[in-house]
Chain A
Amino acid sequence: GDSVTQMEGPVTLSEEAFLTINCTYTATGYPSLFWYVQYPGEGLQLLLKATKADDKGSNKGFEATYRKETTSFHLEKGSVQVSDSAVYFCALSVPNNNDMRFGAGTRLTVKP
């Protein structure tokens, strides 16, 4: 079945460090891919998305490129801030299927 595997955390970085959180997927169809962010005590917020191969999603300095050849959607940011501390979820959905599959989540802590 469709699934998402993401890098296990927790990840601890110093401010201004480079961030990569790996995400790979398995899907029978042509999924759309997402990164969601969850701040403490809150729900999920969409961070970025890509709906087809080679698309790059970007938002707030974060980027992820839909790589069909490697079935990956790695999240990157060149310079993290303390305010980026949160849990990040990679997810996929297959059109007309209604299902959304989430990775396990990666907790990021950025220290000043």
Chain B
Amino acid sequence: GAVVSQHPSWVICKSGTSVKIECRSLDFQATTMFWYRQFPKQSLMLMATSNEGSKATYEQGVEKDKFLINHASLTLSTLTVTSAHPEDSSFYICSAHLAGITYEQYFGPGTRLTVT
């Protein structure tokens, strides 16, 4: 149980376009999901916390107008990278925790974004 999926697993887009990444909890409801960014050979950096039915909470230094997060249901959160640039190329990972069990997160397989 507690499986998190992401779609797509990898995407290539041109500069200036937008790309949407989906994060789904497959067998549980997730009131809170998290979006991380990972640069090559580096650790995960928390970008934002996504709360179902409310606005996301962004970490300091993350542009909320560039990284749009929507958590429309208890099983789906989306991250849209708007007007993508090559420096946005990265590995994006989402996670979620079971309602009431906030100390443990379940991670999706990640989405590799390449902006050309």
Chain B residues lying within 8 Å of A46, measured Cβ to Cβ, are: 104, 106-107
Chain B residues lying within 8 Å of A98, measured Cβ to Cβ, are: 32, 34, 49, 97, 102
Chain A residues lying within 8 Å of B49, measured Cβ to Cβ, are: 98
Chain A residues lying within 8 Å of B32, measured Cβ to Cβ, are: 98
Q: B105 on the interface (CB 8 Å rule)?
A: yes
Chain A residues lying within 8 Å of B105, measured Cβ to Cβ, are: 93, 100
Within the complex, the shortest CB–CB distance from A2 to chain B, in Å, comes to 12
Count of interface residues, chain A, beta-carbon cutoff 8 Å: 26
In the complex, the answer to whether A93 meets B104 with C-beta atoms within 8 Å is yes
The distance in angstroms between the C-alpha atoms of A95 and B110, with both chains bound, is 25
Q: Out of B34, B46, B109, which one reaches A43, CB within 8 Å?
A: B109
In the complex, the answer to whether A42 meets B110 with C-beta atoms within 8 Å is yes
A residues apposed to B, CB below 8 Å: 31-32, 34, 36, 41-46, 49, 51, 89, 93-100, 102-105, 107
